Amino acid sequence: MSVQARDLAEEFVFRFGRTPTVSRAPGRVNLIGEHTDYNDGFVMPAALEFATLTAASQRPDRRLTVYSMIMDETREFDLDAPPQGASGDWSDYVIGVALTLEMSGRRLSGADLIIWSDVPLGAGLSSSAALEVSVAHALLSESGLEFDPIEVAQICQRAEDDFVGMRCGVMDQYISCCGVAGHALLIDCRSLSSRHVAIAPNLRLLIANSNVRHQHAGGEYNLRREACEEGVRLLSRLIGPITALRDVTPEQLEAKRRKLPELIYRRCRHIVTENARVLEAERALNAGDFVACGRAMNASHVSMQKDFEITCPEVDMLAGLAQTVKGVYGSRMTGGGFGGCVVSLVEASAVDKATQILTDGYRIATGLDTDIFVCAPSDGVRLIPV
Ligand code: GLA
């Protein structure tokens, strides 16, 4: 199903009898920098052409009526008598964002909303952040309130942490708010500043979905966070006060290796070396040194596989297959882990070959089908014409 803004607006007129505004917020692919965001570190995502659209129109009261075209379900909320906690379904993201916006001191108008998305669900391409950001943008526009992209990214992250109960970092919401067409963003997750990194016109971002999502992903994600926090506690005693693994160099970590439990050491090693790889990838892309960028991506995959242990056989297979193709500079799992997608940096002329090798090789090795998307970095959230 492909629904453009106009179709969404027509559905809106049919259901609510008014013409809506439409906010569009993209999903993302992360080129490099995994699990570094909640360690105050560096990440380098790009916004995708896949996006969530929220059609919205203000109501005179303080009620929210939300229809999801994907789920074919409607939910209603009263901002003056909100639910006390999450219900465990898609609407948690909507009401969680609304309530967190209110907690930040903004007073929202009620609104009717229709939501549609083509961001693949559960594939590690940030369907949740796209939903949160498009809803935040729609609610703020309909309430006549200003949209501050970085602050809204933090509010959406807080909604997911506090209301939905997933302790994510800020990367996904940040890039959905601030993405720039043709570019990845190097985001410093401590200062929340970012730099544009152009993706050269001869390059393509090729995403291969393993179509596997391991059940324990959420719990394992939080366990990785706890291991990093334990690393900070132990290293603070060994090298002096630090607030995050961002403050530790690979050399400092090596010097204290024997004083750390082996597992904590490996978790920390992923983070401190990954931060260095993100900066190297930025340098390499800016210098046109795609081979060096690809090398950093491949090393990132190994680090996620061996040290952080967040890959799985299916994504290892996809990354391994892609890395054999001439014209593929580098390939790695992208996103939180335990399934989802692999991203490869590819010469445009090698896209067909890489697609064929990934499709055939993955089916032979696993009996599963991969879905391949060739993506151009797109813009962050905005109103689109209807
Ligand atoms: C998920 C989280 C992000 C980030 C990535 C891993 O996408 O939402 O904040 O931690 O995993 O890099």
In sequence order, what DSSP letters do the residues of 297-354 get, joined into one string?
HHHHHHHHHHTS----HHHHHHHHHHHTSTTEEEEEEESSSSEEEEEEEEEGGGHHHH
What was the pLDDT predicted at 3? 64
Cα 126 from Cα 336, distance rounded (Å): 9
Ligand 1 atom nearest the C-alpha of 170 is 9
Other residues' Cβ atoms within 10 Å of the Cβ of residue 110:
20
Residue spans of beta strands (DSSP E) within the chain? 21-30, 42-43, 45-58, 63-68, 73-78, 111-117, 183-188, 193-198, 203-213, 328-334, 339-347, 371-375, 382-384
Which residues line the pocket of ligand 1, CB cutoff 6 A? 30, 34-35, 37-38, 168-169, 171-172, 335-336
Residue closest by Cα to atom 2 of ligand 1: 168
Alpha-carbon distance 341 to 102, whole Å?
35
Reply yes or no on whether 172 is catalytic: yes
Rounded to an integer, what distance in angstroms lies between the CA atom of residue 99 and that of residue 168? 18
Q: First and final CA of the chain: distance in angstroms? A: 18
The residues pairing with 206 across neighbouring beta strands, listed in sequence order, are: 344, 374
Question: Which residue in the block uniquely carries the two structure tokens 């996809």?
Answer: 318
Closest atom of ligand 1 to CA, residue 169:
9
SS3 content of the chain, % helix, strand, coil (to 5): 45, 25, 30
Its pTM stands at 0.97
Q: Let me know: does 280 contact 296? Beta carbons within 8 Å.
A: yes
Atom of ligand 1 nearest to the CA of 129: 8
How many Cβ atoms from other residues are within 10 Å of residue 52's Cβ? 28
Active site residue: 37, 112, 172, 247, which one? Answer: 172
Centre of ligand 1 to C-alpha 369, Å, is 25
Residues forming beta bridges with residue 385, ordered by sequence position: none
Q: Cα(250) to centroid of ligand 1, in Å?
A: 22
How does pLDDT run along the chain (386 residues), one tens digit per residue?
456 889 999 999 999 999 999 999 999 999 999 999 999 999 999 999 999 999 999 999 999 999 999 999 999 999 999 999 999 999 999 999 999 999 999 999 999 999 999 999 889 999 999 999 999 999 999 999 999 999 999 999 999 999 998 889 999 999 999 999 999 999 999 999 999 999 999 999 999 999 998 776 678 999 999 999 999 999 999 999 999 999 999 999 999 999 999 999 999 999 999 999 999 999 999 999 999 999 999 999 999 999 999 999 999 999 999 999 999 999 999 999 999 999 999 999 999 999 999 999 999 999 999 999 999 999 999 999 98
Q: How far is the CA of 34 from the centre of ligand 1 (A)?
A: 7
218-236 pLDDT, tens digit per residue, is 789 999 999 999 999 999 9
Both tokens of 151, joined, read 């602050």
Q: Whose CA is nearest to atom 8 of ligand 1?
A: 168
